[in-house]
């Protein structure tokens, strides 16, 4: 099994494998082109996103945008990400329709072993992230590996999401906790 196959299967893998390193370089080149495109050249930006991302229809992403691979990112319709969005997509990232990200949102499917000896071997793991429809993530939200955020949820600015968030709730804090329901 290749390191890429291990990564996509959710197994521990070596991220600095030559194939994965080349794929990350390709994604970085596309992100660089996207980030350097003229602000009014939405056609060029859309072409780059269509090449970079796994699924994209109607998306407005403000530069600067960064990702690891791109092909594991699947965006629903009417997606908006404000400046400085980072998505580490070693595993699948599914984002529903009508989703808004404030500035500096980070989604990270990647994690590392807690044991230092194992971590020093270069092993890492990835767990998928799923964000439902009609979700709003405020400024500076971080979503950790393996998280699901339900439909219509609102995540308050500065939150670190370390556990699943149910649909129709407002959640805030570090760690992020549900504060109330949305009628």
Catalytic residues: 112
Instruction: Give, in words, the CATH class of 3-181.
Output: mainly beta
Residue 54 has pLDDT above 90, yes or no: yes
Is the CB of residue 160 less than 8 Å from the CB of residue 177? no
Q: What is the pLDDT of residues 27-42, one digit of tens each?
A: 999 999 999 999 999 9
Dist. CA 64–CA 60, nearest whole Å: 12
Report whether pLDDT(58) > 90: no
Residue ranges covered by each domain of the chain: 3-181
Residue 57 confidence (pLDDT) above 90? no
Mean pLDDT of 109-119: 95
User: What is the per-residue pLDDT for 6?
Assistant: 96
H or E stretch at 142: strand 142-143
Query: What is the rounded distance in angstroms from the CA atom of residue 100 to the CA atom of residue 158?
Result: 15
pLDDT above 90 for 183: no
Q: Over the chain, what is the mean pLDDT?
A: 96
């Amino acid at each position: 099994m290749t390191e890429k196959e291990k990564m996509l299967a959710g197994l521990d893998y070596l991220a600095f494998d030559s194939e994965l390193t080349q794929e990350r370089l390709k994604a970085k080149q596309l992100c660089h082109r996207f980030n350097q495109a003229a602000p009014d050249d939405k056609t060029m930006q859309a072409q780059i996103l269509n090449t970079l991302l796994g699924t994209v229809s109607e998306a407005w992403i403000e530069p600067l945008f960064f990702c690891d691979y791109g092909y594991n990112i699947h965006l629903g319709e009417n997606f908006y990400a404000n400046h400085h969005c980072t998505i580490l997509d070693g595993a699948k990232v599914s984002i529903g329709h009508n989703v808004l990200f404030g500035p500096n949102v980070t989604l990270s499917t990647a994690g590392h072993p807690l044991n230092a000896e194992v971590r020093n071997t270069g092993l890492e793991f990835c767990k998928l992230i799923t964000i439902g429809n009609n979700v709003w993530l405020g400024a500076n939200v971080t979503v950790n590996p393996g998280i699901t955020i339900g439909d219509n949820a609102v995540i308050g600015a500065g939150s670190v999401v370390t556990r699943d968030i149910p649909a129709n709730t407002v959640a805030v804090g570090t760690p992020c906790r549900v504060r109330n329901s949305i009628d």
